[in-house]
Amino acid sequence: EEAVLKQWAAAHAAGSRVDFVPGGLDMREHYAAARIFALSSVREGQPNVILEAMACGLPVVATGVGGIPRLVEQEVSGLLSPAADAESMARHCCRLLDDSALCDGMGLAGRRRVEQDFSFTAMVSAHEKIFSSLNSAT
């Protein structure tokens, strides 16, 4: 699909503002350069890439499929669209890009959510609770 997308970008004015970035193991530099994070999946489990973006303070625009709504709280840490609804995704992206305060607030809320529920400390604590409950049940 890369060739098709590059061809579209070359043929449309909006394409001049699209960067094609190869994947890599350490994406922090890309997150730091971004203003929002968008993921237009049709199907998903619980994508780590959303947690990574939220940990970097980015508000999320994503489709409300699979485990994504358990990660992104609508109107708090991001905006969710139906799958395959490009217009809704575009509206959400533009809304965040046009409102710095909203963008910053959702980014901060997402960062807090990751720290609270998905940090190493939070995960260890959650596992300890599970093990304790299993131990007391015997």
The model's pTM: 0.82
- Domains of the chain are 2-137 (3.40.50.2000)
Q: What is the pLDDT along the chain (138 residues), one digit of tens a residue?
A: 889 999 999 999 988 888 888 878 888 999 999 999 999 999 999 999 999 999 999 999 999 999 999 999 999 999 999 999 999 999 999 999 999 999 999 999 999 999 999 988 888 988 899 988 888 876
Separation CA 113–CA 110 (nearest Å): 5
- Order across the sheet with 78-81: list the strands: 37-39, 60-63, 78-81
